[in-house]
Every structure is written in structure tokens, then in C-alpha cells.
Amino acid sequence: MSCMRRENRSSVSEFLLLGLPIRPQQRGVVFALFLGVYLTTVLGNLLIILLIRLDSRLHTPMYFLLSHLAFSDISLSSITVPKMLVNMLTQQKSIPYVGCISQIYFFILFACLDNFLLAVMAYDRYVAVCQPLHYTTVMREGLCILLVAGSWFFSCVHALLHTLLLSCLSFCADNTIPHFFCDLTVLLKLTCSDTSLNELVLFIEGGMIAFLPMSAILGSYICIGATILRVPSIKRICKALSTCGSHLFVVFLYYGTLAMSYFFPSSNNSKVKDIIASVMYTVVTPMLNPFTYSLRNRDMKLALGIIYRNRITFAK
């Protein structure tokens, strides 16, 4: 491989993360806010996983997929937020070269996994609305495991490919990252090596990874809409909204903020808009998922109520 024969390794041993664009006097408030959001994300998504594990009525394809999405959201936030909080608290903004590359790998992995899981969940909603009589036959346990395992596999391959290509590049003088985490596109701008191969792979392979799940989601909801409009009624529309509403909200929030950051980047020199968009899909969206899927979901609220009553009864 050509990167094995290049001038050994990068001369940069660490990078400097500039973090959030905030004033020093705002640091305490922002730290408390992000700590609260992160704890809410972790505890809320852990609660979803726990409820699905403990309540046998939630052992269905939809909740099986939701438990993996909850785990992915915990991981996505945990890759970036703790480091950002430590840097904000200690003012030590450095991150080792290996740590930065590792952060990029896991960030790409779980961002891509979210992408695939949202597509699989859209297919699950399509079967539930368009083929309700065949739902248990189509969404059998074996297929669900296969779809999730495939999502994990392709996410790992996607992350590994871009991380290996990045590790072949050299970083010379500038090691300042104007972000709160190591972002692949930012590092490609910092390198003093030729990035044509990286950009080509990012455009073709990365574009496919983003386009195919989005197409699956769009196709699923077009079919759902066509099925509802075939015999329109208020009852059918309300049922479809209760079935798909939570997933649609998360899809719009996730892809909307992702598009703001990567597909419609800032035209001026300021990166504030990009950082805000990154905060939305790495911090805010994972926090909102538990509220979106739990507070509006009768089965989840019922399971939470039963477990709470059982704990009170056991305590007595």
C-alpha cells in the first residue's frame, strides 16, 4: 500500500480542539447545560434499552430496532461530549493523534449506524402499515437480526475505510481544529498531503452510504402515503401518524442537521453554523430520541408504569 511507503508518519503528535465558540464568562453555564443534556441522553436511552429488555410485550421488531438505535445514540454522544466537557473544564484542548483518529473512526461508525437503523426502521413501519396481515411473517426474528448485523458490518467497513485513508496522510504545521471534536472533513483541510483519493472515496462511497438509506426511507414513506390515500379516512391517517410520527420526527431532525453541516456548509469564514448543526445531531438529537419514542408511545409508558409499580411493591 502506498501509505506504507510514505514518509513514515505524521509529524503532528497531537491536535488542538478549539471547542465551542463561547465567551469565557459563559463557560460555566454552557458546561452545566451540556453536562445535563449528556446525562439525560445516556439515562434516557439506557431506560429505553432496560424497558425493552424487561418487558416481554416490547419484544417486537420495532422495539428491537429501537434498542439498537438507543445504544448507537449513547455511543455517538459519548464519543464527542465527554471530551468536550473535559476540555471546557480544564482548558486542556489537546487531543493525541491516535485519540483523534480513534474518535473519527467511532464517530463515523455510529453516525453511519444511525443512518442504516433509521432506514431499517422505515422499512419496518412500511410493512406495519402497508402489509399489516403479513407483518409477523415478513419481520421475523431472523430477518431483524440480519438487518441489524448488516447495518453494523457496513458501518464498521465504512468507518474503517475512511480512517485508514486518513491515517495515510501527513499533518505538518497546522494542528488546530476549529471544532469541538475531530471531524473528517476538517482534518482533510489541515493535511499537507494530497487528498484527492480521500475526497473521491468520500464523494462516491460516502455518498452511496448516505443516499441508499435516505432512498429507502423516502421510498417507504411514499408507499405508506399511497396506501393511506388509497382509502383515505381520519382513522387511518391518525393510526399511521401514531405508528410513524416518532420515526418521521427523528428522521427529519437527524438528516436536517446533517445536511446543514455537510451538504450546505457555511459560505462565509465563520464555522458557527456548522458547529451548531454538529451539536444538534451529536448532542440534541440523541437526547430527544427517548422523549420522542417514549412520551408519545403508549406501550413504553405502560411498561414504565408497570416496572415502577413493581419496584414500589417489592420495596414494601
pLDDT per residue, tens digit, the chain (316 aa), is 445 444 444 467 889 998 888 888 888 899 999 999 999 999 999 988 988 888 888 888 988 999 999 999 999 999 999 999 998 888 888 899 999 999 999 999 999 999 999 999 999 989 988 888 889 899 999 999 999 999 999 999 999 999 999 998 888 777 888 888 998 988 988 888 888 999 899 888 878 888 899 899 989 888 888 888 887 777 767 766 666 777 777 787 777 767 666 665 555 445 677 788 788 878 888 888 877 776 666 777 777 777 767 665 555 5
Quickly count: other Cβ atoms within 10 Å of residue 144's Cβ. Answer: 18
pLDDT number for residue 5: 45
Strand residue runs (E) in the chain: 14-17, 94-96, 176-177
208 exposed, middle or buried (CB, 10 Å; 0-12, 13-18, 19+)? Answer: exposed
- Grid cell for residue 280: 444538534
183 exposed, middle or buried (CB, 10 Å; 0-12, 13-18, 19+)? Answer: buried
Cα 179 to its chain centre, rounded Å, is: 18
Q: How many residues does the chain have?
A: 316
- Grid cell for residue 54: 424487561
